[in-house]
Structure 1
Amino acid sequence: MKTASSSSSSHTFPVTASLCTPYLLLVPLGLLAVVLVIPSLGSSHVRSDGLGVLCRADAGGYLVAPGGGGDVTAAVAETKAVAQPKPELRLLVGVLTTPKRYERRNIVRLAYALQPAPTPANVARVDVRFVFCRVTDPVDAQLVAVEAAHHGDIIVLNCTENMNDGKTHEYLSSVPRLFASDPYDYVMKTDDDTYLRVVALVDELRSKPRDDVYLGYGFAVGDDPMQFMHGMGYVVSWDVAEWVSANEDILRYNDTHGPEDLLVGKWLNIGRRGKNRYSLRPRMYDLNWDMDNFRPDTVVVHMLKDNRRWAATFRYFNVTAGLQPSNLYHLAP
């Protein structure tokens, strides 16, 4: 259970239109008019357009288009007019975080931006989004709006910020509505203390079914080796997310309060969903106290709670391998 590119600016793989909701109400209207086409999570007319611009995929890596400046609608239309080969699979990665964690989000963006692209080209389209509940602090609202305008990778849900009081349910149940017009094959929930190696995960998913999938770090309960998946990061297929979204009993019985990863497993077990279960242990794991248990075949490493742990992770996986010598900086080896 939880203890807790050839574009300019971000970490996403070929990007779909990013989203925000009307809960950034404290952002000045002028900024909203420029950068937002706002879908409402509370409305029956939810749309999947919003912050950011569709960006063409190429073989070189992960792409994102900044949401600020210019005519967003025109840019989306222009990009849609360009024929794009259909990827073998599409994955949405939702990184659950909180508004004030600006430094951590910057680190996580870099963690994705500096990863190699899955091969062959167009084998996968992976979009990474940072997921908040309503942003109520006026300072955070302004800063998050600037962040969203620049990076185009923010989703704001219709909930009060929390970890184990319904946020994961809101995320999983909102995604099928928000992206109804352009659904993914898989939806992932992960956290901002998790380093996901995207190519490794894509390689795992390529051979898996596209329906009734529940994949992660299997947590054994009794004789069941995968009663639920650890909250460091787990993947469900699109149909499973749709089922969560449509299942009124989860809310009727107030079954969203408690350890979020255990509850997701409980819903799926009761509903007999996610029958295609895959545990990626030991390739998904917590980083230990001494930071000496990294694995070359890692899919996910969790518990990166501070910059020192992130630095150790980047060092092990040689994230700065492409850094060219320059007189502009002097870094210790």
Structure 2
Amino acid sequence: MSMKAPASNSYVLLAPLGVLVLVVVVFLLPSLNGSQRVGSDGLGGVMCARRTAGADGYTAAVAVAVVDPPPPREEPELSLLVGVLTMPKRYERRDIVRLAYALQPPAVRARVDVRFVFCRVSDPVDAQLVALEAMRHGDIVVLNCTENMNDGKTYAYLSSIPRLFASAPYDYVMKTDDDTYLRVARLVDELRHKPRDDVYLGYGYAMGGQPMPFMHGMGYVVSWDVATWVSTAEEILARNDTEGPEDLMVGKWLNLAGRGRNRYDLKPRMYDLSWDMDNFRPDTVAVHMLKDNRRWAATFIYFNVTAGIDPSKLHHSP
């Protein structure tokens, strides 16, 4: 995180001429023979000094910071929206998941935004607390639906995204849950050389002899064009296909319409954590079934999330 530059890069000293001598000796003497490097305060530039005479006879010594322009920002190779479907009352879980993403190393040359998604907030207490969250973090999306898991929430999410983010569309849209730990850079590496259209990627679930009729609900990715199609596909509503096991229904939509033909199965790098919590993988993209804090803690230990904490007299780590 870059630190803010000083509010002003110009320093002005005004003094009677008799006092100015000392100031010039201490601060401006190296600059008397032209522009010399005096210091940059980490701004990547030089600080030049010059003397100007005012109309009242006083002399002003002015130091002007000449700042080098920042290097051009690299354009991202891809962009990804991660929608974490959760519920209004799960404040503690959101805080854990928020930190889990914030403390990960950034994905190289990628724009990745994480948003927490739920339906209308009906409880007045939750409404106030969620409003505080939204104001503080800016990562809350509240959909126009009644809170649910398998009665249309995923449809509301995927069909709303193209409208909500029409001004800055993404290459890919992900749906995941608040009991999934996603290693963002690993997922971005998987997507980096994939097509940007007609993509359906996740943990492929075999059913009825078909190897990948749908992706497991722990987390799956569709390309922007697929999400746009969902937002306009009247046949989904006509068949009442918004209700039912949400991951199975998404696969059904795409299969009937011949969409998402570029399918990628990330199994076994996406998986459920076992009862004994002993099946972590070093090449993990996403691990699911983190239903309590004990499982989140085990995940952080395995992936060394807190291993780099700086020593401090203010806390004593075990």
Same fold (TM over 0.5): yes
1:30-41 matched pairs, under 5 angstroms: none
When residues 183 and 84 of structure 1 are mapped into structure 2, their CA distance, relative to the original with a 3 A threshold, is farther
User: Deviation per CA, 1:230-278, whole angstroms, max 9, x where unpaired?
Assistant: 0000000000000000001111221111100000000000000000000
Which residue in 2 is equivalent to 1:136? 122
Aligned residue type for 2:125: V
| Alignment-mate amino acid for residue 132 of structure 2 | V
1:168 alignment partner AA:
T
- 1:85, 1:174 → 2: CA distance? 29
Counterpart CA distance in 2 for 1:84 and 1:180 is: 23
- Residue aligning to 1:248: 234
Correspondence list, 1:1-333, <5 A: 5=1, 84-119=73-108, 123-332=109-318
Greater shift, 248-257 or 272-281, is seen at: 248-257
Distance 1:88 1:135 in 2: 36
Return the offset for 1:6.
5.6
SS at match of 2:148: coil
Does the residue aligned with 1:230 lie in a helix, a strand or coil? strand
- SS of 2:217's equivalent in the other structure is coil
What is the TM-score normalised by the length of structure 1?
0.74
Q: Paired residue for 1:77? A: none
Deviation at 1:86, TM superposition (A): 2.5
Task: Name which one, 1 or 2, has greater alpha-carbon Rg.
Answer: 2
Q: Which residue does 2:21 correspond to in 1? A: none
Query: Distance between the aligned counterparts of 1:283 and 1:104, measured in 2?
Result: 23
Distance 1:83 1:245, change over 3 A: farther
What CA distance in whole angstroms lies between the structure 2 residues aligned with 1:277 and 1:116?
Answer: 27
Change (3 A) 1:83 1:165: farther
The C-alpha deviation readout for 1:302-332, integer Å capped at 9, x for no partner, is: 0000000000000000001220111100121
Deviations, residues 104-135 of structure 1 (Å, cap 9, x unaligned)? 0000001001101123xxx1000000001000
Deviations 1:129-151 (A, max 9, x none): 00010001000000000011000
| Letter paired with 2:94 | R
Task: Name the amino acid aligned to 1:108.
Answer: V
For 1:89 and 1:181, locate their aligned partners in 2 and report how far apart those are by CA, in whole Å.
16
Counterpart Cα distance in 1 of 2:94 and 2:107: 22
Structure 1 unpaired stretches of 5+: 8-81
Partner of 1:90: helix, strand, or coil?
A: strand
Alpha-carbon distance in structure 1 between the residues aligned to 2:139 and 2:225: 23
Secondary structure of the 1:327 match is coil
Instruction: Indicate the percent of aligned positions where both proteins have the same amino acid.
Output: 78
**For 2:173, what is the secondary structure of its paired residue?**
strand
For residues 197 and 165 of structure 1, what CA distance do their matches in structure 2 show? 28
Paired AA for residue 203 in structure 1: D
TM-score (norm 2): 0.77
Change (3 A) 1:223 1:86: same
Letter in structure 2 aligned against 1:247? A
The 2-side partners of 1:138 and 1:169 are apart by 26
Partner Cα separation in structure 2 for residue 117 and residue 137 of structure 1: 36
| Structure 1 stretches of at least 4 aligned residues deviating more than 2 Å after TM superposition | 82-86
Provide the rounded CA distance (Å) in 2 between the counterparts of 1:249 and 1:86: 38
Residues 187-244 of structure 1: CA deviation (Å, up to 9, x unaligned): 0000000000001000000010000000000001122110000000000000000000
| Alignment length (residue pairs) | 251
